Amino acid sequence: MGKSESVKPTAEQIGQLREMFMTKLQSEKPSCGEFHPKDLERVKTNDMWLGKFLDQVDFNFTEASNMLWNTLNWRKNYGANEMDESKIRMDYIETGALFAHNKDVDGKTLLLVRSKNHVKGSKDMNELIKILVYWIERIQRETNYDKLTLFFDMQGAGLANMDLEFVKKIIETFKLYYPSAINYIVIFEMAWVLNAAFKIIKGLLPPKAVEIMKFLNTKTIKECVDADNSLKAWGGNDDYTFKFVPEKRMENNNSSNVNNNYVNIQTNSQSQSNATNNGDGFNTSHVKKVTFADTTKMKTEEVEDLYHSGQPQLLHHHEIGSGGDAESKFSPLLLLLLLSVTSSLLVEHLLFRLNKQKKTLISVLINFFLFRSDDEFLERMNETVIVRAFP
């Protein structure tokens, strides 16, 4: 492919960068006030993401630490973590000038800039960059921060479509805030009249970016994109026409109070739809997904309404397996357990009424003993259970 392989940072090097950042955070206040909690969590736990900063600056720890600090400041001020469809101009999106579709030969997502769909000076530059950030953030969420290929589709573009300022802003955004995020920079079917403009752009790129730049046409595109991932206009097999599809973000479906007190156990029929054996002897056909909601920030009346609503609250999933392979039928012991659970629910309801004015809610740990049995019995037992306890 002609692309040099970068040296991956070691765990010790990543740990050193993390320590430098956290030490600075203890003694210096960020210009944004406080860094976004998600970004701080990423610094603490995501080695791959931190490694990208080291790779970007050839393992210069001071530069990497400064870049990381500046990136978190920018992300908080810009609202990168909250960048969704409500924050961008949908009329700009629907022009199809910038969107993600298909993969390159390395399996990296293609971020397409279709120049013929953009006219220089016709749109607000700040709004265009918001759309760029939206797509980068979305791709990184969907691929766990994997690299992407920036694909400038110049087919059918003329001087009116060549927006040098826009291209410079795109490159600047990646260079400053998304280190080592690009697999290839592809310039496809560029007209000769645009050569001078791209020489200027090439001069803006760091040496590593120049190495991954490719000028391709319909005959050479297979170097970067195979036929099945190439649009028909590029000589490939994909007859795709751009149509925007909103991102499905699980966190958008959750209440802001969801965290850690309510328990929702899905039905066995839902669990069995995804049932597999993971190969280590643990059979997941009886796996239950347990989710929690935080009631500590809710008013007593809100908790009571939620308690009687019967609506499952969703956030973090934790799987619990039945374990064991022995078959068992309905037994007196199981009946006793069911009666015990029923009684505890009745008691907790009474306690709730007696302690309505208390502000502190204490979570309860309930052990569910799941017995394997015939399908008819399991079907009868599969109802959503919500468990709570109050002091």
Query: What is the C-alpha separation between 289 and 264, in angstroms, rounded?
Result: 8
Query: What is the C-alpha separation between 259 and 240, in angstroms, rounded?
Result: 41
The predicted model scores a pTM of 0.65
Domain boundary among 52, 81, 110: 81
Looking at the domain assignment, is residue 3 inside a domain? no
Which ranges constitute the DSSP H helices of 79-121?
90-93
Summarised one tens digit per residue, pLDDT across range 303-335 is 344 434 444 443 333 333 333 333 334 445 555
| Domain identity same for 288 and 161 | no
Buried b (16+ CB within 10 A) or exposed e, 65-76: bbbbbebbbebb
CA atoms within 13 A on the CB side of 254: 17
Query: What is the C-alpha separation between 378 and 269, in angstroms, rounded?
Result: 9
pLDDT at 348: 52
Looking at the domain assignment, is residue 243 inside a domain? no
| Domain identity same for 65 and 149 | no
Looking at the domain assignment, is residue 245 inside a domain? no
Q: Tell me the residue range of the domain where 260 lies.
A: 254-387
Domain boundary among 51, 81, 111: 81
Looking at the domain assignment, is residue 355 inside a domain? yes
Q: What DSSP letter does each residue of 173-184 carry, written as one string?
A: HHHHHSTT-EEE
| Domain identity same for 116 and 207 | yes
Kindly report the CATH number assigned to the domain that includes residue 168.
3.40.525.10
List Cβ neighbours of 126 (8 Å cut-off, separation of 6 or more).
none
| Domain identity same for 327 and 213 | no
Query: Parallel, antiparallel, or unpaired for β 213-216 and 182-188?
Result: parallel
Looking at the domain assignment, is residue 336 inside a domain? yes
| Domain identity same for 163 and 221 | yes
Looking at the domain assignment, is residue 376 inside a domain? yes
Domain count, the chain: 3
pLDDT at 335: 53
Summarised one tens digit per residue, pLDDT across range 142-199 is 999 999 999 999 999 988 998 989 999 999 999 999 999 999 999 999 888 778 777 8
| Domain identity same for 280 and 258 | yes
The mean pLDDT of 231-248, rounded to a whole number, is 95
Looking at the domain assignment, is residue 239 inside a domain? no
Share of the chain above pLDDT 70, in %: 62
| Domain identity same for 180 and 208 | yes
Residue 377 has pLDDT above 80, yes or no: no
| Domain identity same for 77 and 117 | no
DSSP-based three-state secondary structure for 133: helix
Query: What is the C-alpha separation between 228 and 110, in angstroms, rounded?
Result: 13
Residue 39 has pLDDT above 80, yes or no: yes
Query: What is the C-alpha separation between 140 and 147, in angstroms, rounded?
Result: 8
Domain boundary among 24, 59, 81: 81
Q: Distance of CA 62 to CAs 58, 70, 310, Å?
A: 11, 12, 54
| Domain identity same for 215 and 272 | no
Looking at the domain assignment, is residue 89 inside a domain? no
